[in-house]
A and B are shown apart, each in its own frame.
Chain A
Amino acid sequence: TQLLEQSPQFLSIQEGENLTVYCNSSSVFSSLQWYRQEPGEGPVLLVTVVTGGEVKKLKRLTFQFGDARKDSSLHITAAQPGDTGLYLCAVIQGAQKLVFGQGTRLTINP
């Protein structure tokens, strides 16, 4: 069983639309990270959320950590083709090891 379940697995929308992707678990975490990965490259950290209910904004991206610290969401406003990529949530375990969800593959069509 997957520790982190991401949904949807695939999402294809038109430029200018809004979208939300989710990362859910039955476990409680002290923090959660979101990464974006582009083809042929390693993941790049977007944000770390640490407090239940926390909301962080990164330009058109809004990240929220659930009140119970079991889930998180990523909302993109007015999506652009440059937002295309694989979005991964991850949690940190002992020795700074990362456990990843399976990812949401996002395609923004011009």
Chain B
Amino acid sequence: NAGVTQTPKFRILKIGQSMTLQCTQDMNHNYMYWYRQDPGMGLKLIYYSVGAGITDKGEVPNGYNVSRSTTEDFPLRLELAAPSQTSVYFCASTSTGGLQYFGPGTRLLVL
């Protein structure tokens, strides 16, 4: 049972480049989330999904897009990378009313 997996683990982007952060869970959870964590800080919610085909904005959605075509996958897209998007990105999933499982994170550096 792999839980929540994220790829890549680390990436350096130039300003203006785009990329997709991948997230997959094998627990058949309906709810999935993307958080970002700036150095020494707590996590802030970017986007979330309550099921395939349904997504909604969190606290800090600007500069990001998501899609949820399957229960398992919840990719996060950065279209025009900016230095302010340098952060560690965590994907998480939970069943209704259950424990929230976090992936290992993707460290992104935008230069």
Say whether A41 contacts B100, CB under 8 Å.
Answer: no
Say whether A100 contacts B31, CB under 8 Å.
Answer: no
A25 at the interface (CB under 8 A from B): no
Q: A98 CA to B92 CA in the complex, in Å?
A: 10
Query: A40 is contacted by which of B43, B97, B100, B105 (Cβ under 8 Å)?
Result: B105
Residue of B nearest to A98 (CB): B100
Say whether A99 contacts B96, CB under 8 Å.
Answer: no
Q: A96 CA to B100 CA in the complex, in Å?
A: 8
Inter-chain contact total with CB atoms closer than 8 Å:
57
| Chain B residues near A103 (CB-CB < 8 A) | 40-42
Say whether B103 contacts A42, CB under 8 Å.
Answer: yes
| Chain A residues near B90 (CB-CB < 8 A) | 42-43
Question: Given known contacts A88-B42, A102-B42, is B102 in contact with A43 (CB within 8 Å)?
Answer: yes
Q: A102 CA to B104 CA in the complex, in Å?
A: 19
A: contact size bracket = 20 to 34
A97 at the interface (CB under 8 A from B): yes
Q: A90 CA to B37 CA in the complex, in Å?
A: 14
A58 at the interface (CB under 8 A from B): no
Say whether A101 contacts B42, CB under 8 Å.
Answer: yes
Residues of B that sit less than 8 Å from A by CB = 4, 31, 33, 35, 40-45, 48, 50, 56, 58-59, 90, 92, 94, 96-100, 102-105
> Could you list 6 examples of A-B contacts with CB < 8 Å?
A42-B104, A86-B40, A95-B56, A96-B96, A98-B45, A99-B45
